[in-house]
Amino acid sequence: MGKKLLKNTEWAILIVSVILAIIGLIALFSATQSTEHGEFRKQVQWIIISIPFLVLASIIDYNIIVRFSTLAYLVVIGLLVGVLFTEPISGARSWFKITESLSLQPSEIGKVITILFLAFLINKMQIRGRKEINKIWKLFIVLIFAALPVALILKEPDNGTALAYLIAILAMLFVSGIDKKYIILAVTALIIATPIIYANLPTHALKRIEVFLNPGSDPRGAGYNIIQSKLAIGAGEIFGMGLFKGNQTQLGFLYPKTTDFIFSVIGEEMGFIATGTITILYIVLVTKSVYVAKTAKDNIGSYIAIGIAGIFFFHMTENIGMTIGLLPITGVPLPFVSYGGSSLVTNFICIGLLLNISSRRQKAIFVE
C-alpha cells in the first residue's frame, strides 16, 4: 500500500515548490544585504518550520483532516473577527503581533481551512447526488459560509486576499456541478453591480485603479511603486544585472522589495531568463494541481485540489501582473518566493494536501 501511494504521488508539485522557494531565497539574500539579511534568515527559519506541516498534510488521509475542518473554520472566523480589533499595520488590520519580529496573519491560514471546510460542506450537500448542490437552499448555505471569511477580510481591508478566496470558491463551485443558469445569473449580477461597486469604493482603492490606468498621474505618490517596478524589470533585460547589482533593488527604490515586489527584484538582477522560468514553474504547478483534482478518488479530494489550484493561479497572475503593470496593485505575495511566514506555511500545507490527494487518486471525478 505504501509503495502504491508513493508511486501515485505527483512529485512534480513538490519539486516545483522547492525550486520556487530556492529562487525566492536567492532573491531575498540579495534584496536584504542592506539589512544584514534579516528577512532572508527568517525565511529560512519559516521554511524549516513548514516542513513538518508539509509532511503531516501529505501523510494523514485528507478525509480524516476534513473531519476537523468545521472546528478549524470556526477558529479561523474567530481569528478574523479578533484581528479587526488590532492596531492597523500599513492601513490594514490583518496581523496579530505576537512578538516584535513575529506576526500571524489569520487570512493566510484561513485560505486552506476555508477550502477544506467548503469541500466538506459541499460534499455533505451532495449526499444524494452531485446535482443536489443546485437546490436553492443548499447552494445558499454554501454561499453564506463561503462569504463570511471574505466579508471579514474585506473589512480589514485586504482586497487582494479576499479575491484569492473568491477565485478558490468559484473554482470549487464550478467543479461541484453547479447549474449553468446560476453562473449566468452571477455574471449578469456582477455586470450590473460593477458601476455601483465602483462608485462606493474607498478612496485608496479608487486611487489604485486610477494609478493602474495612468501611473504617470502621480509618479511620486501612488504611482511610484509600479513605475520603479517596471524600471527594475526592464533594466534586467535577458540575463539581469547580477545579484547585488540591481539599481532599483539595492538603492532602495523598490518597496516593499521582499514581499509584493520580489518578482521585480528577480527581473532586475536575474533577468528575463529567471522570470520566464518562474512563470513556467507556476503554470506547471497550477496545471498539475488541476490534474490532481481531475484524478482524485472522491469529490472531496477534487474540491480541495481545485480550490488550491485557484489560490495558486490567482496569486501567480495577480502578483506578476501587478509588478509589470498589467493589473492593479493589491499587495498579494508571490507563493514560495515572497517573504512571509504565514503565507509560506500555508502554501506548503497546500502542497502537502495535493501530494496527499494525488497519492490516493484513481480516476477523474468531476469530468462528465
Mind listing the pLDDT tens digit of every residue in the chain (368 residues)?
466 667 788 999 999 999 999 999 999 999 998 888 889 999 999 999 999 999 999 999 999 999 999 999 999 999 999 999 988 877 788 888 887 777 889 999 999 999 999 999 999 998 877 788 888 999 999 999 999 999 999 998 888 899 999 999 999 999 998 888 888 888 888 788 878 877 776 776 777 777 777 777 777 777 888 999 999 999 999 999 999 999 999 998 988 899 999 999 999 999 999 999 999 999 999 999 999 999 999 999 999 999 999 999 999 999 999 999 898 888 899 999 999 999 999 999 999 999 999 998 765 444 44
Q: From CA 360, how far away is CA 357, in angstroms rounded?
A: 5
Residue 262 C-alpha cell reads as 520580489
pTM for the whole structure: 0.92
- The residue range of the domain holding 272 is 2-359
Q: From CA 87, how far away is CA 84, in angstroms rounded?
A: 8
pLDDT for the residue 49: 95
Where is 104: in which H helix or E strand?
strand 103-104
The residues, ordered by sequence, that sit 6+ positions from 316 with a Cβ below 8 Å of its Cβ are 279, 282, 285, 286, 334, 335
pLDDT for the residue 215: 72
Alpha carbons within 13 angstroms on the beta-carbon side of residue 105 total: 22
Three-state secondary-structure class, residue 89: strand
Residue 92 C-alpha cell reads as 490594514
Is-contact 114 149, C-beta < 8 A? yes
For residues 77, 82, 84, 90, the Cα torsion angle rounded to the nearest 10 degrees is -100
Judge whether 368 lies within some domain: no
DSSP 8-state code for residue 333: P
Judge whether 280 lies within some domain: yes
Judge whether 367 lies within some domain: no
Is-contact 285 16, C-beta < 8 A? yes
Closest CA to 226 of 320, 317, 92, 160: 320
pLDDT for the residue 312: 97
Number of domains in the chain: 1
Q: From CA 148, how far away is CA 126, in angstroms rounded?
A: 21
The residues, ordered by sequence, that sit 6+ positions from 280 with a Cβ below 8 Å of its Cβ are none
In whole angstroms, what separates CA 45 from the centre of its chain?
Answer: 21
pLDDT for the residue 4: 62
Is-contact 274 268, C-beta < 8 A? no
Judge whether 325 lies within some domain: yes
pLDDT for the residue 32: 93
- Element counts in the chain: helices (H) and strands (E): 15, 2
pLDDT for the residue 246: 92
Closest CA to 355 of 11, 73, 2, 7: 11
Q: How many beta carbons lie within 10 A of that of residue 42, not counting itself?
A: 18
Q: Which amino acid is at 329?
A: I
Q: How many beta carbons lie within 10 A of that of residue 199, not counting itself?
A: 8
Judge whether 366 lies within some domain: no
Q: How many beta carbons lie within 10 A of that of residue 202, not counting itself?
A: 10
Q: From CA 106, how far away is CA 97, in angstroms rounded?
A: 11
Judge whether 127 lies within some domain: yes
Judge whether 120 lies within some domain: yes
- The angle subtended at Cα 141 by Cα 137 and Cα 143, nearest 5°, is 115
In this structure, is the dihedral angle defined by the CA atoms of residues 91, 96, 102 and 106, taken in order, positive or negative? Answer: negative
Q: From CA 50, how far away is CA 40, in angstroms rounded?
A: 15
